[in-house]
Structure 1
Amino acid sequence: MAIGPDTKGVYTIAPTPFEADGKIDWASLDSMVDFYERCGVDGMTILGIMGEAPKLDAGESLEIVKRIVARTRLPVIVGVSAPGFAAMRSLARASMEVGAQGVMIAPPPALRTDDQIVTYFRNASEAVGEDVPFVLQDYPLTLSVVMTPAVIRRIVTDNPACIMLKHEDWPGLEKISALRGFQKDGLLRPLSILTGNGGLFLDFEMGRGADGAMTGYAFPDMLVEMVKLSAAGERDKAHDLFDAHLPYLRYEQQPGVGLAVRKYVMMKRGAIASDAQRKPGSALSAAARQEVDYLLMRLESRVRDQASRQRN
């Protein structure tokens, strides 16, 4: 299954499982892939920010790509962002050779002007190879690079290999509307838009024209169901499902501890064996774990009540 400008659905952002001593947990990598498949996701994006990619060496990164691609029939997108183009090209070409469907590229924080941003992505596409489909990652909250809709249009126009936008600006609803407006006016070619930010605004992003989600929320099965409901025009049901998850989703979205929360819940759901992060990384206190457990208990109750009401 190839990714392209018409790609829709949920592409989960996968963490990298580690053992307590910081070694990669290969068995958990396998069980995590199986978990995502059971949740019904449409694809996986690996070695992103949530995947702790900067903490991996080049050999580890490629071995993770090989392991996941060999484990699943789902399309796999590989984060290849790097300080230099040589490392970016090496991982991108090697990943495509073993079966990845595309790569994701984020802008380095040093970029400031529109021309700098546009030039960077032109050079990045040339570096990885213009035959390699790439996802443009727009994440100004973490990367501090602000890309206006007009800049994104220039990047997409300049680079035929740019087939998807990972949209996680905040606030960003108007940006989605602006990009879809460009397309309606014939000023932008078709472009898949999948949104991030832990799914925190997915309830309205779908209504603005998003094609789905590309994020690392610990309940990808909820994202899958919500995207399906939204696409089917079941707006109230989609919002009811989102509202049931919102208290926990908000907690998971806290800067600095979000990955620790996600890994803890994925551990509790049986996807991975440990919530360990490779150093430097954060960990949940006993009090935080109790809070998450409480939120999960309430989430389960809300979802059960909703299902009961729908049956009746």
Structure 2
Amino acid sequence: MHKFDPSAKGVYLITVTPFTDSGALDLASTDRMVDFCLERGVTGLTILGIMGEATKLTAEEAKAFTRQVVRRVGGRVPVICGVSSPGFAAMGELTREVMGIGASGVMVAPPSTVRTDDQIAGYFDMVNETLGAVPWCLQDHPVSTTVQMSPAVILRILKSSPNCVMLKHEDWPGLAKLSAIRAASDRGEVKRVSILTGNGGGLFLPEELSRGADGAMTGFAWPEMMVDVVAAHARGDVERAHDLFDAYLPLARYEQQAGIGLAVRKHLLHQRGAIASAFARRPAPKLSPQDVADIERLVRRQEKRLSQLG
């Protein structure tokens, strides 16, 4: 079994949250989604994230969804839960709930209220006090948090956080940052942690792997793309990794459009049979007929290119 610790690697897929056409939480479809992901070789699941519409769930729904995912996974891969919150009472409560249900660890991003390096580091000192012995992932996603964490402050956090086992790197541009953090651990200046990358459905995944990333933690309606790219890179077939990535890139790019990205992903997952409905809770985008036509064309072209690659 894969473990959520500094040796974690592969693909920790950021999942959507399935709803019925009426907007209710769909636990039966949750089972279908988990099976879909595991059948495609993911090594972990990350739930209650931004693309999982976590902010649109009630506290009881978040617990019910976590319980269903953990139960369906059955210990086959780690399940990581997003618990980011400006307040530590809420973070601590949700962490206790999900860990009690059987989650493997949690993920925390800084709130938009911290700005200086000292403020950021001080915030994560309080995260350590709140989480205690729970293994956790540091999420660096300036696009959503508006918080810029330099390599120096990330290294500072890692040095003071014995239970931080992973960095979710999704700064953009961020290849130089990734290289600097990995080089610091290679020199023994800081403990080695797993680095999984996000960056818009893995839009820079091959380059990030070459810079020292251990895999991906992001979402895409074709999780097997990330699984196969990471596997090819790990066995030293870098050109194959790039060829596979290139085949999926147009659709991955389309799925990352601001505003409609979630609608595109849920539409595709519905088309692939992973979820019963493409419904997203308000506020939510809707696809136009032209959007659907674009998607259908991109899927056809992707299938053609994959067939050529064998």
| TM-score when normalising by structure 2 | 0.97
Aligned to 1:88: 91
Pairing partner for 2:172 from 170, 173, 176: 170
Cα deviations across residues 18-43 of structure 1 (Å, max 9, x unaligned)? 12222111111110000001111001
Letter in 2 for 1:27: A
Aligned to 1:66: 67
Distance in structure 1 (CA, Å) of the matches to 2:23 and 2:143: 28
Deviation at 1:16, TM superposition (A): 0.5
Please list every run of 5 or more consecutive structure 1 residues that lacks an aligned counterpart in the other structure.
Answer: 308-312
Q: Sequence identity, in percent?
A: 54
Aligned to 2:198: 196
Instruction: Check conservation: 2:92, 2:130, Cα contact below 8 A.
Output: yes
Letter in 2 for 1:194: L
Matched, 1:113 2:116: yes
Deviation at 1:112, TM superposition (A): 0.7
Secondary structure of the 2:60 match is helix
Instruction: Check conservation: 1:136, 1:164, Cα contact below 8 A.
Output: yes
Letter in 1 for 2:170: E
Instruction: Check conservation: 1:22, 1:279, Cα contact below 8 A.
Output: no
Secondary structure of the 2:23 match is coil
Distance in structure 2 (CA, Å) of the matches to 1:163 and 1:93: 18
Distance in structure 1 (CA, Å) of the matches to 2:260 and 2:87: 28
Distance in structure 2 (CA, Å) of the matches to 1:205 and 1:292: 27
- Greater displacement, 211-220 / 16-25: 16-25
Pairing partner for 1:290 from 293, 296, 309: 293
Aligned to 1:30: 31
Distance in structure 2 (CA, Å) of the matches to 1:21 and 1:107: 34
Aligned to 1:310: none
Cα deviations across residues 278-303 of structure 1 (Å, max 9, x unaligned)? 11111111110110011001100100
Distance in structure 2 (CA, Å) of the matches to 1:75 and 1:46: 11
Aligned to 2:272: 269
Deviation at 1:83, TM superposition (A): 3.1
Matched, 1:50 2:26: no
Secondary structure of the 1:123 match is helix
Deviation at 1:253, TM superposition (A): 1.2
Deviation at 1:125, TM superposition (A): 2.1
Distance in structure 1 (CA, Å) of the matches to 2:285 and 2:253: 18
Instruction: Check conservation: 2:165, 2:193, Cα contact below 8 A.
Output: yes
Aligned to 1:240: 243
Aligned to 1:148: 150
Distance in structure 2 (CA, Å) of the matches to 1:183 and 1:124: 22
Cα deviations across residues 227-278 of structure 1 (Å, max 9, x unaligned)? 0000111011000001111111111111111111111111111000111111
Deviation at 1:184, TM superposition (A): 2.1
Secondary structure of the 1:163 match is strand
Please list every run of 5 or more consecutive structure 2 residues that lacks an aligned counterpart in the other structure.
Answer: none
Tell me how many residue pairs correspond in the alignment: 306
Pairing partner for 1:214 from 210, 217, 221: 217
Secondary structure of the 2:252 match is helix
Distance in structure 1 (CA, Å) of the matches to 2:302 and 2:128: 43
Aligned to 1:157: 159
Aligned to 2:21: 20
Distance in structure 1 (CA, Å) of the matches to 2:244 and 2:89: 44
Instruction: Check conservation: 2:186, 2:192, Cα contact below 8 A.
Output: no
| TM-score when normalising by structure 1 | 0.96
Aligned to 1:78: 81
Secondary structure of the 1:77 match is strand
Distance in structure 2 (CA, Å) of the matches to 1:83 and 1:151: 19
RMSD: 0.9
Distance in structure 2 (CA, Å) of the matches to 1:41 and 1:268: 20
Secondary structure of the 1:263 match is helix
Distance in structure 2 (CA, Å) of the matches to 1:53 and 1:126: 24
Instruction: Check conservation: 2:158, 2:164, Cα contact below 8 A.
Output: yes
Deviation at 1:63, TM superposition (A): 0.9
Letter in 1 for 2:37: Y
Distance in structure 1 (CA, Å) of the matches to 2:125 and 2:57: 26
Deviation at 1:195, TM superposition (A): 0.3
